[in-house]
């Protein structure tokens, strides 16, 4: 079958024929899924560019099928899945050893030995079809098929917000005097797909949300943030004037994935009992905090929390949120998929895997 393949640690990517899994004994208990579409994300491009050092092919191989965002259609069902149903495979798989993996939550795996499709020891989803364990398949409601590919990156954010809200339970009352979170102020740093998705989820939970970048918004970004009333702040000159206008923030999320030094800018913006969520993967530099800032952090019950990938319950929650946004913020929803490429348009596929276009939110490859 056809697949999109990389040979880490070498840069490069190609569309080629790979040996298929048809008729394997090991397919017993699995569901056969024909892939309909794949999403491309920054991680894919990092692998293609040869910059992601942690990427690993399956044991005994030197090639890896790329892709961790996919929607497919069940071709041979069973185990609760029927032919013709739409499904999304989950990328992170359990280690088979630790308690969290045993109960279906490899997102908190304690051994670090779990495989991740498309990036770590397991072939990804950019291929004609796959046989997969029903435990790692999420049903996709046909009514939101157009934007459902976002459920994969969104699942990570659902899990992150869940982690944050659970951690905040250490505070007897973090809700407002009407029982909601409407008085809580959140700052999301970064206006990439992750920053935008975080903002949308936090709005859905009732937070007031500011989103920041060091450049002005592009037109399509503006349109996306308009209906949900997410406020933009240009942080090119720092955050001083934002804090002057708005006050400090109860929740700050870093999604920048650039210099680690952003952390030292953000910690002082935290409100009493506030949380700094680190989602973006810093790529260089360091951050440094003074003892006085640490004193302030300690005395005010603050936390800094590392936020990582989501699992099946978060994929399902992501789908509910996507469905709600389609009704609530139809313009926003319609602007999230910025490009659709046919797998047959090989040049365009390869080019999209190499470079992000300005204003891109999500690019889809469709198999036809």
In angstroms, the first-to-last Cα distance of the chain is 13
- Binds 206: which of its own copies, Zn ion, none (CB < 5-8 Å by kind): its own copies
Side-chain-side CA neighbours of 230 within 13 Å: the count stands at 30
Nearer to Zn ion, 242 or 274 (CB): 274
Indicate whether 308 belongs to the interface with its own copies (CB under 8 A).
yes
Residue 89: which region, alpha, beta or left (left: phi > 0; alpha: psi -120 to 50)?
Answer: beta
C-alpha–C-alpha distance, residues 192 and 176, integer Å = 30
Which of 70, 144, 252, 336 binds its own copies (CB under 8 A)? It is 144
* 123 to 21, 313, 334: CA distances (angstroms): 12, 23, 31
The distance from CA 249 to its chain's CA centroid, rounded to whole angstroms, is 23
Q: Which stretch binds Zn ion (CB under 5 A): 94-102, 188-196, 202-210, 289-297?
A: 94-102
Indicate whether 246 belongs to the interface with Zn ion (CB under 5 A).
no
Which of 30, 33, 36, 41 binds Zn ion (CB under 5 A)? It is 41
Nearest to 257, CA basis, from 368, 142, 153, 148: 153
Pairing state of beta strands 70-76 and 86-89? Answer: antiparallel
Which of 50, 268, 282, 359 binds its own copies (CB under 8 A)? It is 282
Nearer to Zn ion, 41 or 48 (CB): 41
Does 279 carry a binding-site annotation?
Answer: yes
Any idea what DSSP says for residue 58? P
Which of 19, 23, 28, 179 binds its own copies (CB under 8 A)? It is 179
Closest separation in Å from C-beta 256 to its own copies: 11
Indicate whether 243 belongs to the interface with its own copies (CB under 8 A).
no
Does 176 carry a binding-site annotation?
Answer: no
- Binds 43: which of its own copies, Zn ion, none (CB < 5-8 Å by kind): Zn ion
Indicate whether 272 belongs to the interface with its own copies (CB under 8 A).
yes
b/e map of 135-154 (b: 16 or more CB within 10 Å)?
ebbbbbeeebebbbbbbbbb
Q: State the binding site.
A: 41, 43, 68-69, 91, 95, 98, 101, 109, 152, 156, 213-215, 279-281, 307-309, 356
* Binding interface with Zn ion (CB under 5 A): 41, 43, 95, 98, 101, 109, 111
């Amino acid at each position: 079958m056809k697949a999109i393949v990389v040979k880490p640690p070498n840069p490069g990517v190609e569309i080629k024929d790979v040996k298929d899994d048809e008729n394997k004994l090991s397919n017993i208990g699995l569901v056969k899924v024909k892939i309909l579409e794949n999403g491309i994300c920054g991680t894919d491009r990092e692998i293609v560019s040869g910059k992601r050092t942690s990427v690993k092919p399956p044991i005994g191989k030197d090639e890896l099928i790329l892709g961790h965002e996919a929607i497919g259609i069940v071709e041979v069902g069973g185990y609760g899945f029927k032919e013709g149903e739409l499904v999304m495979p989950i990328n992170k798989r359990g280690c088979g050893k630790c308690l969290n993996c045993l109960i279906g939550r490899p997102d908190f795996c304690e051994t670090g030995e779990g495989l991740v499709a498309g990036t770590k020891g397991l072939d990804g989803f950019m291929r004609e079809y796959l046989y997969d364990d029903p435990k790692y398949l999420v049903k996709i409601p046909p009514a939101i098929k157009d934007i459902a590919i976002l459920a994969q990156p969104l699942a990570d954010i659902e899990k992150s917000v869940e982690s944050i809200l659970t951690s905040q339970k250490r505070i007897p009352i973090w809700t407002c005097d009407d029982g909601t979170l409407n008085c809580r102020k959140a700052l999301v740093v970064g206006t990439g797909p992750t920053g935008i998705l975080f903002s949308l989820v936090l709005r859905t939970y009732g937070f007031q949300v500011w989103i920041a970048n060091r450049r002005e918004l592009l037109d399509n970004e503006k349109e996306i943030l308009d209906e949900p009333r997410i406020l933009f702040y240009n942080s090119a000159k720092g955050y001083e004037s934002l804090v002057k206008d708005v006050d400090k923030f109860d929740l700050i999320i870093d999604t920048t994935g650039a210099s680690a030094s952003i952390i030292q800018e953000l910690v002082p913006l935290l409100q009493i009992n506030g949380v700094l969520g680190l989602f973006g993967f810093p790529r260089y530099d360091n951050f440094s905090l003074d003892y006085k800032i640490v004193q302030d952090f300690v005395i005010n019950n603050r936390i800094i929390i590392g936020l990582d990938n989501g699992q099946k319950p978060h994929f399902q929650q992501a789908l509910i949120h996507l469905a709600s946004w389609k009704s609530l913020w139809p313009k926003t929803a319609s602007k999230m998929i910025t490009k659709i490429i046919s797998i047959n348009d090989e040049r365009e596929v390869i080019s999209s895997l190499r470079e992000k276009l300005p204003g891109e939110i999500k690019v889809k490859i469709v198999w036809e």
